[in-house]
Structure 1
Amino acid sequence: MTEKEIEYQTTLVRYNNPTLVIRHDDKKGDEEKRPISGGAVAISDSRKETDEILNSILPPRCWEEDGQLWMQKVSSTPATRQDVINLQEMLDTRLQERQARETGICPIRAELYSQCFDEIIRQVTINCTERGLLLLRVRDEINMRDEAYETLYCSSVAFGMRKALQAQEGKEQLQERIKQLEEEKALLESTISDMKTKSDQNERRNAELRESEEKKHAEEIAFLKKTNSQLKSQLENVIKK
């Protein structure tokens, strides 16, 4: 079994065995198609219609290997109750093996559940094509919704990053402004301190001058009183004579 076949068997959707469609010749161009399946089998119209619907819902997978074109179509074998149980067990096993996250956005979990949904659509379509087509519409709607949510999530993350960068830029500007204001504050405090020192010096100087003036004024008054007293005494003596 080739590596490609092994890789394709990891999907939860049941496929038929790969069939060789074209075998290339190294010396010649494309040869006519050589299906390796057995002789032609009569297929009823309803079965053929079901196969066509299945192929439209889940298109055949083709790959080229060693110059040969291989095709693998989805299985049209009806599913039993045991198949459904096995599908659930396989889903749980794959989730554990691939370490899918139980919550949040997880591409691995989304891929496995998508494969499981495709397999359910395949099983339902075989029994009732109308229900299968309705489930197909539901699947497409879910995919479009998920894409919309993903786009919205990416947009919100980008918006959040822009806002974070703007906030960081604004924070840096505010920090720079705070630094400038702190420097201005320190300068003003230094100026206030110098002015307070000069004010104290001026007050002491004025107090000393006021005290000196008051003392001088008091001495002058005392001198004048003494002079006045002497003149008054002399005047009285003159009058008495």
Structure 2
Amino acid sequence: MIQPSHSLVKYENPVLVSRTDGAQLQAGAATRPGQLKGAPTAGVPGLGDKKLPGGPKKLPPVDDKGRAKTPTQTEDILNSILPPREWEETGQLWVQKVSSTPATRLDVINLQEQLDHMLQKRQARETGICPVRRELYSQCFDELIRQVTISCQERGLLLLRVRDEIRMSIAAYQTLYESSVAFGMRKALMAEQGKADMENRIKELEEEKRQLEQTVLELKAKCEAIEKRESERRSMEERKHAEEIAFLKKTNVQLKTQLEGILSPQKK
């Protein structure tokens, strides 16, 4: 395992946890990352059988004077709110618990300076969505919860509930954002596919238009040829018809003259 990175949450010095058979840890060692074997959860105020973080946390019962009825160690509450960190180095398992030392005014000032320094060092965005800024502010809020829990366990658990509610809201917004992005991508792909289909359809229609225009030109040429041929034929027929009429008229005149020549001696 890789050693955990620097965090704004204040932790105690790492503790070496020895192994027995390479799989089981000695008493008091962690059985899973973030959970110590000896850290009770049933006796922690507001925990019971609930897991942290997640779900609303109930405050511990108090008596008439406002004191907690069930005494609980602060370290157990801190370990439940902020589980210890574990990592393996050179075959040895190390565990680092959250610090239970009360915070002073100077610690708060140092926390603010560390937050500003880490924001600048990791180049977090000042506006918009930034995972780095969100992570650092989350660590800062966890450190504030740790400091408040040492002074007042009930107030710390209430802040824990607020933190979990904020995380749930952010997770819901993140899910909504991812679904909207996926929906937008699907619509974009559909639009892109539809655009390609429309472009292909436009090309087909343009080709069909070109073929129809070519057909129109061919038909126009045929019509002009037919009109020209019919016009020549009509002219030829009209000329032939005129010649026949002229011939008939001439024949009629000749016949009329002959008839008059025949009828003239008879009158005499």
Same fold at TM > 0.5: yes
Per-residue CA deviations over 1:16-55 (Å, capped at 9, x if unaligned) read: 22234x34589xx977779xxxxxxxxxx99963333222
Question: Per the alignment, do residues 109 and 192 of structure 1 end up closer, same or farther by CA in structure 2, a change over 3 Å counting?
Answer: same
Aligned to 2:148: 124
**Is residue 149 from structure 1 mapped to residue 173 from structure 2 by the alignment?**
yes
Aligned to 2:261: 237
**Counterpart among 192, 206, 217 of residue 193 in structure 1:** 217
Aligned to 1:41: none
**Is residue 63 from structure 1 mapped to residue 87 from structure 2 by the alignment?**
yes
- Is there any run of 5+ residues in structure 2 with no aligned partner, and where? 30-67
Percent of aligned positions that are identical: 64
Distance 2:122 2:179 in 1: 28
Distance 1:72 1:197 in 2: 96
Give the secondary-structure state (helix, strand or coil) at the position aligned to 2:94: strand
Q: Which runs of 4+ in 1 moved over 6 A?
A: 29-34
Question: Per the alignment, do residues 238 and 90 of structure 1 end up closer, same or farther by CA in structure 2, a change over 3 Å counting?
Answer: same
Distance 1:142 1:203 in 2: 88
**Is residue 75 from structure 1 mapped to residue 71 from structure 2 by the alignment?**
no
Question: Per the alignment, do residues 30 and 160 of structure 1 end up closer, same or farther by CA in structure 2, a change over 3 Å counting?
Answer: closer
**Higher relative contact order by CA 8 Å / sep ≥ 6: 1 or 2?**
2
State whether residues 61 and 72 of structure 1, in contact with CA within 8 Å, keep that contact through their aligned partners in structure 2.
yes
C-alpha RMSD over aligned residues:
3.0
Aligned to 2:231: 207
Distance 1:210 1:65 in 2: 112
Give the secondary-structure state (helix, strand or coil) at the position aligned to 1:99: coil
Aligned to 2:134: 110
Which structure dedicates a bigger proportion of its chain to helix? 1
Matched letter for residue 147 of structure 2: Q
State whether residues 62 and 72 of structure 1, in contact with CA within 8 Å, keep that contact through their aligned partners in structure 2.
yes
State whether residues 23 and 33 of structure 1, in contact with CA within 8 Å, keep that contact through their aligned partners in structure 2.
no
Distance 1:222 1:170 in 2: 75
TM-score (norm 1): 0.79
**Is residue 90 from structure 1 mapped to residue 114 from structure 2 by the alignment?**
yes
Aligned length: 224
TM-score (norm 2): 0.72
Per-residue CA deviations over 1:60-106 (Å, capped at 9, x if unaligned) read: 22334345443322222333333223222211211111122333433
197-206 vs 48-57, greater mean Cα deviation: 48-57
Question: Per the alignment, do residues 219 and 69 of structure 1 end up closer, same or farther by CA in structure 2, a change over 3 Å counting?
Answer: closer
Residue 207 of structure 1: CA displacement? 0.6
Distance 1:47 1:81 in 2: 27
